C-alpha cells in the first residue's frame, strides 16, 4: 500500500499548510463480482490518521463510498520542525505507515 504524499518541505511557524495524500488502494465495495461469478470481498481503508510530531491533527474514517486510490486533502498549522506520520488500516487489517519531514522557520 503505497502512497504519494505532498507536504511542503518548509513553512513559516503558524502558517496553515495544505497536505495532499493519494493512497494506492482498491477500496473494494463488496458489491463487485469476479469473472467466476464470486463476490469480491469488501476491503476499504477504515481509518487514516495523520500525526504531527506524535500529536493527532487529522483522522478520517472512510468507507467504500470513497473512490478507489483515495485522495485526501486537508490542512494543518506548521508548529515546529519534525515529522508528519500517516497511518492507515483497511478492512483486511493491513496497516501502512508513511512519513514526511517538515522544516519550520520563524
Partner 1 sequence: MKRREFLAALAGAAISPAALAQSVPLERLLESATRGAPARPGRVKLELPVLAENGNAVPMKVTVESPMTAADHVKAIHLLSERNPVRNMATFHLGPRAGRAVVASRVRLAGSQRVVAVAELSDGSFWYDVAEVNVTASACMDES
Which residues make up the interface to partner 1 (CB under 8 A)? Answer: 16-17, 27, 29, 31-33, 52, 55, 57-68, 70-77, 79
* Shortest Å distance, C-beta 15 to partner 1: 8
d(CA 70, CA 102): 23
Q: Which is nearer to partner 1, 1 or 49 (CB)?
A: 49
* Shortest Å distance, C-beta 29 to partner 1: 6
Pairing of strands 95-105, 10-12: parallel
Q: Which is nearer to partner 1, 40 or 97 (CB)?
A: 40
Q: Which is nearer to partner 1, 63 or 83 (CB)?
A: 63
Sequence-distant (≥ 6) Cβ neighbours of residue 53 within 8 angstroms: 79, 80, 82, 83
Alpha carbon distances (Å) from 85 to 19, 52, 56, 106? 12, 6, 9, 23
* Shortest Å distance, C-beta 93 to partner 1: 19
Amino acid at each position: 500500500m503505497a502512497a504519494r504524499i505532498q507536504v511542503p518541505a518548509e513553512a513559516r511557524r503558524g502558517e496553515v499548510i495544505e497536505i495532499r495524500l493519494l493512497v494506492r488502494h482498491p477500496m473494494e465495495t463488496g458489491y463487485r463480482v469476479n469473472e467466476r461469478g464470486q463476490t469480491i470481498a469488501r476491503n476499504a481503508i477504515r481509518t487514516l490518521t495523520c500525526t504531527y510530531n506524535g500529536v493527532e491533527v487529522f483522522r478520517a474514517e472512510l468507507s467504500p463510498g470513497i473512490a478507489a486510490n483515495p485522495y485526501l486533502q486537508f490542512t494543518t498549522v506548521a508548529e515546529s520542525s519534525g515529522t508528519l506520520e500517516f497511518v492507515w488500516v483497511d478492512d483486511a487489517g493491513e496497516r501502512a505507515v508513511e512519513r514526511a519531514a517538515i522544516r519550520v522557520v520563524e
